[in-house]
């Protein structure tokens, strides 16, 4: 890391039981505000899930504090550098799960007890080339459309809570080795655990997700960019053999830029080039451009209040 960079961005999760999780969330918010951090953290009885930004000093203190707690000692922080905060506010919220699984009884799937075999970036590269391997993207469809691994399949989900139902579409692949991947690894913990529960025998997951893979390997064979849930919107992954896979929703030219539609009642996540973004004032259609509640477009298409923290990865 460049020691001169003032700000850091931390992406992390940790499946580890937390007693009195609601009170923990309250206390944790106070701690984060004391450090002047910004971002979104979800707290549940099963663990922590967060993306935060702050000064280098504040982030280093936060990581040291988390890792010093025996419950969270195994936390793997994915660290990026930034010239400024990538969030406007600090939110710490209690929820029943740190990733909404869509299961009636979430305790059916417990990553602390059973989950897919973790693969390093190098191990992932080697295994995915085998003929009996299927690479499965467990992210939302708009994330997949703007960037994904070559040859990966997707279940065309609007959000992860659809995954338990979508698994039925994979029945014909039960004799294959399945490698799951997501942005930072957290969804794969539950996705791979659920696949095992449903009778899949050989289940693996890319440890640390796309973000860690990029840092370990240079992002080889990842087409496009990676969608992230902060005001960067997307980040580059592949410095080895990069390509752009998404096209502008308005004009059709290749673009890696993603926006949320400025109409809050639409809020669709779509690829829109810079020129069309300004011309349409951040809207995805003429109707949305004229909507009375249309939000002010600032060139990013990122709107804090309409980003659902349940999507955090």
Q: Which residues are known catalytic residues?
A: 182
Residue 108: predicted pLDDT: 85
Domain 7-98 indexed as CATH 3.30.70.100: yes
**Nearest-angstrom CA–CA distance, 137 and 178:** 10
Q: Is 6 left (phi over 0), alpha (psi -120 to 50) or beta?
A: alpha
pLDDT value at residue 231: 84
Quote the CATH superfamily of domain 109-226: Rhodanese-like domain (3.40.250.10)
Domain ranges in the chain are 7-98, 109-226, 258-302
Q: How far is CA 296 from the centre of its chain?
A: 25
pLDDT at 311: 39
Q: What is the pLDDT of residues 160-209, one digit of tens each?
A: 999 999 999 999 999 999 999 999 999 999 999 999 999 999 999 999 99
pLDDT of residue 2: 57
One-character DSSP codes across 64-117:
HHHHHSGGGTT---EEEEESS-S-SSEEEEE-S-SS----SSGGG--TTT--PE
The whole-number pLDDT of residue 308 equals: 41
- Is residue 297 a contact partner of residue 262, using CB atoms and an 8 Å limit? yes
What does the alpha-carbon distance between residue 28 and residue 81 come to, in Å, rounded to a whole number?
23
What residues of the chain score a pLDDT lower than 50? 306-313
Do the domains 7-98 and 109-226 sit in the same CATH topology, yes or no? no
Residue 313 has what pLDDT? Answer: 42
**pLDDT (tens digit per residue) in 17-48:** 999 999 999 999 999 999 999 999 999 999 99
The answer to whether 139 and 163 are in contact (CB under 8 A) is no
Its pTM stands at 0.90
CA atoms of 262 and 259, how far apart (whole Å):
8
For residue 269, give both structure tokens.
């996540």
């Amino acid at each position: 890391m460049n020691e001169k960079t003032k700000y850091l961005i931390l992406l992390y999760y940790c499946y580890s039981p937390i007693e009195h999780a609601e009170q923990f969330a309250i206390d944790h918010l106070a701690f984060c505000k004391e450090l002047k951090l910004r971002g979104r953290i979800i707290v549940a009885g099963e663990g922590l899930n967060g993306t935060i930004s702050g000064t280098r000093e504040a982030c280093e203190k936060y990581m040291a504090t988390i890792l010093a707690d025996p419950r969270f000692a195994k936390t793997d922080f994915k660290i990026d550098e930034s010239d400024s905060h990538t969030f406007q506010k600090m939110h710490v919220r209690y929820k029943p799960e740190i990733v909404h699984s869509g299961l009636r009884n979430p305790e059916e799937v417990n990553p602390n007890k059973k989950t897919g075999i973790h693969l390093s970036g190098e191990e992932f590269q080697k295994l995915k080339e085998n003929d009996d391997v299927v690479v499965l993207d467990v992210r939302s469809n708009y994330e997949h459309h703007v960037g994904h691994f070559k040859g990966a399949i997707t279940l065309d989900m609007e959000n992860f809570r659809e995954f338990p139902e979508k698994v039925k579409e994979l029945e014909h692949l039960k004799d294959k080795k399945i490698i799951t991947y997501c942005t930072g690894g957290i969804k794969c913990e539950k996705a791979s655990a659920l696949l095992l529960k449903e009778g899949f025998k050989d289940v693996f997951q890319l440890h640390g997700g796309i973000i860690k893979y990029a840092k370990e390997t240079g992002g080889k064979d990842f087409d496009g960019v990676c969608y992230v849930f902060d005001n960067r919107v997307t980040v580059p992954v592949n410095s080895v053999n990069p390509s752009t896979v998404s096209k502008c929703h308005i004009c059709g030219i290749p673009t890696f830029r993603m926006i949320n539609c400025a109409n809050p009642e639409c809020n669709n996540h779509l690829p829109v080039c810079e020129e069309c973004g300004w011309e349409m004032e951040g809207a995805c259609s003429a109707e949305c451009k004229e909507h009375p509640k249309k939000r002010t477009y600032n060139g990013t298409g990122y709107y804090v209040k309409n980003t659902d923290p349940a999507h955090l990865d």
